[in-house]
Amino acid sequence: MITGQYTKKDVYNNVKSPTCFSAKGKKFKQMKTSKSQELYNRAKNFIPGGVNSPVRAFKGVGGNPLFFKEGLGPYLIDADENRYIDYVGAFGPLILGHRHERILEAIETQLSKGIGFGASTEAEIDIAEKICKHVHSIEAVRLVTSGTEATMSAIRLARGFTNRDKIVKFEGCYHGHADGLLVKAGSGALTIGEPDSLGVPSAYTELTHVLPYNDTEAVEEYFDAHGEDTACVIVEPIAGNMNCVPPDISFLEVLREQCTLNQSVLIFDEVMTGFRVALGGAQSIYGVLPDITTLGKVIGGGLPIGAFGGKAEIMEKIAPSGAVYQAGTLSGSPIAVAAGLAMLEVVSEIGFYEELHKKTKLLMSGLKERASEANVPFTTNQVGGMFGCFFNTNEKVTSFKEVMASNSESFQTYFHEMLSNGVYLAPSMYEAGFVSMAHTMEEIEKTLDAASVAFRAIKKN
């Protein structure tokens, strides 16, 4: 039994006029979003594009972004009081759903003691110890404030450690928005249709080589030519920023082999997959260990945090013990650490990931069933509580090219039908979806009923 579930009564008490589901949960009313619309118009006056992160905009699906005011368990409630089953989970962190009592308690307890000290706390050691215990390749870990900061620092460390400049990344993988990584970046950049960003000098990206994901030959070819100059390879061990694309084990094995052979540092960017797909991250599933791992999202319990860690020999190069500079005013924020610690305690309860995997699998098999009933070509990928849906094919999707071949019109129809039937998905076909532990069979059934409506609409178009 996983502790601290939300109660359903709370959800209903908190919503004054639910417009999405009728009493039977089958027939759907047209939802009103006038308040969201009003807020969006206001936001556009003061916030570029009306959002503080481009993935929140509806550029990839059309229409205007919703504004939310509340979350509870698996539900999100928007400014107009519409209730949605949430498969975004704040883009990954909320693996326990919204407002999990253990997380709230931990935050409240810390709040009463102080928000931050700009000095060390015992809880920082506790969380570092826990991370090292669960993620086997990590011997020492440094906390930062975001995933972007973690990957940026990890790359600087790899360069400092090897005294080399070149780095390798993979097409469709996203590692945050540091200059040298915005080369054919995935996710947000893909949706907007600008693979590169303005403002990034070409001198910054010249040192970044982009290779196709899951292509072992390309990796071997690259290392034959540039192995000796390569500081590191950074990779999402399960790609989650071009929808969801699991690795071929041989791909990760070749990366490990080539990095060892050439004395390059292998970085697994597990900002999304860490504590999401398994307690030990993607590396524990595939049995391939990196030299450095980057973390974020789940480890902060929903608060701003990031981390990078790995072999002690490498980590020692970071200031103050070493000469690779890295620092942060809010690093190890007591509030974020308290939330993260509570999160790690709950997810390390026995059976947590098995149950999450089972729920997600039921959702995936149900979606495939509903698609096939509606005669819509459709396939899914899933690892643990992380999933992806593809609309043009019944074949397995394993590469960036295959992701790009997925039908964006079908996705747009699907997205909007799901939305108006009470299911909130990421507004882009390049995002992975997330199931939380707060989702129950009831929400999954409702999601499947909404999906039936959506698949029929796709067929009609």
Closest distance of CB 225 from ligand PLP, Å: 27
**Cα–Cα distances in Å, from 90 out to 99, 301, 343?**
12, 10, 15
When the beta carbons of 158 and 271 are compared against ligand PLP, the nearer one is: 271
Bond prior to 320 in cis (omega within 30° of 0): yes
When the beta carbons of 83 and 276 are compared against ligand PLP, the nearer one is: 276
DSSP string, 270-311: -TTTBTTTBTT-HHHHHT---SEEEE-GGGGTTSS-EEEEE-
Question: Interface with ligand PLP by CB under 6 A: which residues?
Answer: 146-148, 151, 174-176, 236, 240-241, 269, 271-272, 296, 306
Closest residue to ligand PLP: CB criterion: 147
Known active-site residue 84: no
Question: Which residue among 80, 215, 269, 449 is the active-site one?
Answer: 269
C-alpha 389/C-alpha 433 separation (Å) is 8
Closest distance of CB 295 from ligand PLP, Å: 9
DSSP string, 294-360: EE-GGGGTTSS-EEEEE-HHHHTTBTTTSSB----TTTT-HHHHHHHHHHHHHHTSTTHHHHHHHHH
Closest distance of CB 398 from ligand PLP, Å: 18
Q: Are 172 and 213 in contact (CB under 8 A)?
A: yes
Known active-site residue 224: no
Closest distance of CB 118 from ligand PLP, Å: 22
SS3 237: coil
Known active-site residue 269: yes
Which token pair is 440? 């129950």
When the beta carbons of 56 and 83 are compared against ligand PLP, the nearer one is: 56
When the beta carbons of 18 and 306 are compared against ligand PLP, the nearer one is: 306
Query: Amino acid letter at 228?
Result: E
When the beta carbons of 271 and 278 are compared against ligand PLP, the nearer one is: 271
When the beta carbons of 103 and 150 are compared against ligand PLP, the nearer one is: 150
When the beta carbons of 244 and 418 are compared against ligand PLP, the nearer one is: 244
Question: Which residue among 130, 169, 297, 446 is the active-site one?
Answer: 297
C-alpha 461/C-alpha 407 separation (Å) is 12
Which token pair is 287? 């049995």
When the beta carbons of 18 and 237 are compared against ligand PLP, the nearer one is: 237
Nearest Cα neighbor of 341 from 26, 131, 161 is 131
Closest distance of CB 171 from ligand PLP, Å: 14
Closest distance of CB 230 from ligand PLP, Å: 20
Q: Are 76 and 91 in contact (CB under 8 A)?
A: no
Closest distance of CB 81 from ligand PLP, Å: 29
Strand partners, 423: 85
Q: Are 422 and 82 in contact (CB under 8 A)?
A: yes
C-alpha 275/C-alpha 305 separation (Å) is 14
Question: Which residue among 84, 174, 213, 286 is the active-site one?
Answer: 174
DSSP string, 125-180: HHHHHHHHHHSTT-SEEEEESSHHHHHHHHHHHHHHHHT--EEEEETT----S-GG
Nearest Cα neighbor of 33 from 59, 65, 55, 11 is 65
Closest distance of CB 297 from ligand PLP, Å: 6
When the beta carbons of 93 and 160 are compared against ligand PLP, the nearer one is: 93
Closest distance of CB 14 from ligand PLP, Å: 28
C-alpha 243/C-alpha 430 separation (Å) is 4
CA distance between the termini of the chain: 44
C-alpha 144/C-alpha 396 separation (Å) is 36
Known catalytic residues? 174, 269, 297
